[in-house]
Amino acid sequence: MLINKDMLELKKRFTKEKCSITRLAGCYVDANSNKLLSFNNTFLNLDDDELFKYLDIAKKSLSGTIGNNLLPLLFQRNEEGEKMQQLLLSLRESGLKNDDLIDCIYDLIIENFHYAGNYLILIFKDSYDVMTKTTDELKLDESEEVYDYFIVSICPVKLSKPGLGYLEGENRIGSRVQDWVVDMPDTAFTFPSFIERSTDIHTLTYYVKDAKDSHHDFIEKGLKCCDINTATEELNTFSSVVKAVVSSVMEKSDEVLCKVQESLQDMVVSREADNEGLCLPEEDNFVLTDEIIDEVLKENEIPFDTAETIKAKLSEEFGDMTPTVKNLVDEKAIEKNLKKQEAANLRKEVAELRKENDEHKKAIDTLVSMEGPVEDTEEARSRWAEVFLRMKPDKAENVRCDVIDGKKYLMIPIEDEEHINLNGVDTTV
């Protein structure tokens, strides 16, 4: 199983002091799929500035979230899959010293990787002497195995932005010369995979910068691997299907989708709580089933016919690539919706409090009012009212009128030792 810990162990070595990369091959391709340049160098002979920039590219090719930016791909179980695996094994064994094999990789990428622009293909050859670790993660001074592998990175090459700059030779500010700049990789793959600190020749580790588009054609037709979706692709597909179907029969499809995702999130949390402390195998994955879909759609009162349409559409979109339930939950959208609900509830509470306050004020005004028009000031009220009260607003809200033995009384709640001024005389109760 591909884990972050293994990726981090490899990336930590991509410094000049720890680096064991032996060779670097590359091919520059233009937007018309023409090879403009190719090279094959001893890596540690590069100038420091270049070496560090290449190391950044290699490190980026092993970065990202597993299941989203990093995917473990199995080779197709057919003749084409076996041929591709054998080609990659041969390239590894050659140590990047067989130009014909390298050209085969270049041609394979150029034919199957569709990119609207120039790009640079880089191949890093490395061997990692994997040291034995104890159960408490301490390294022993003995080798467990040699992980022999290579990284293929496909990097877009773009023109730098136009602008003004200082022209040193002419000592003036002028138009800056635009350069073709190599960007961080858009796509990359590492073969063999490094899984549980060991070599796995049956998979390659695939990197994609934009998890919204994993270049499915390149995975299937170029690398001859079994296609899988990224977590982002699973979420986007699920969301678009539910919203499209629901919007045709119900209003506020966004809210319906959010409620469905909240139900799925509750299932994930409940399952994790039940399995806490258990060591589950990799295949024990919580994937979406018809039973789960039925349950969450029924829970959110989705009509039966609509629910059946959603199931059919999801089956059509995902095919054999059954999505993981956790990937279908948009936590940011749920949190945003929760804050929106909290804000709406708060506004409702404020409106109710204001209404109650207005009613209290009206009641108090009724108690102290006199017949006929009067001047509405505190001084005027003190002149014409038999009872004149002045108190803090929060105290006034609790004043009420009650009838005792047939007489009306104005009831004012008083706390112990509370300060009272009665007709100008300070007192306490």
The pLDDT tens digits for 299-315 are: 988 889 999 999 999 99
Q: Contact, 123 vs 109, CB < 8 A?
A: no
- In this structure, of 286-290, 344-348, 395-399, the range with the lowest mean pLDDT score is 395-399
- Give me the pLDDT at residue 279, please: 53
Mean pLDDT to the nearest integer, 391-416 = 81
Q: pLDDT digits over 6-24, tens only? A: 999 999 999 988 899 999 9
- Give me the pLDDT at residue 252, please: 80
CA dist 72 and 205 (Å) reads: 5
Residue 181 has pLDDT above 90, yes or no: yes
- In this structure, of 254-258, 270-274, 357-361, the range with the lowest mean pLDDT score is 357-361
CA distances for 171 relative to 72, 166, 168, 174, 179, angstroms? 54, 7, 5, 9, 21
Q: Contact, 46 vs 52, CB < 8 A?
A: no
Q: Pick from 167, 336, 165, 182: which is nearest to 255 by CA? A: 336
Q: Pick from 264, 258, 302, 309: which is nearest to 286 by CA? A: 264
- Give me the pLDDT at residue 283, please: 42
Residue 224 has pLDDT above 60, yes or no: yes
Percent of the chain with pLDDT over 70: 89
The pTM score is 0.75
Residue 77's contacts (CB-CB under 8 Å, 6 or more residues apart) are: none
Q: Which of 91-95, 245-249, 279-283, 378-382 has the highest mean pLDDT?
A: 91-95
Apex 330 CA angle, 327 and 331, nearest 5: 110
Which of the four pLDDT bands, split at 50, 70 and 90, describes residue 141? low
Residue 385 has pLDDT above 60, yes or no: no
Which of the four pLDDT bands, split at 50, 70 and 90, describes residue 102? very high
- Give me the pLDDT at residue 281, please: 46
Mean pLDDT to the nearest integer, 229-246 = 93
Q: Contact, 270 vs 284, CB < 8 A?
A: no
- Give me the pLDDT at residue 429, please: 63
Residue 276 tokens, joined: 């806490």
> Quick check: helix, strand or coil at residue 139?
strand
Residue 47 tokens, joined: 């100038």
Apex 362 CA angle, 361 and 364, nearest 5: 65
Instruction: Tell which wins on pLDDT, 376 or 13.
Output: 13
Residue 188 has pLDDT above 90, yes or no: yes
Instruction: Tell which wins on pLDDT, 5 or 280.
Output: 5
Residue 331 has pLDDT above 90, yes or no: no
- Give me the pLDDT at residue 374, please: 45
Residue 68 has pLDDT above 80, yes or no: yes
- Give me the pLDDT at residue 371, please: 46
Q: What is the mean pLDDT of the chain?
A: 87
Instruction: Tell which wins on pLDDT, 274 or 219.
Output: 219
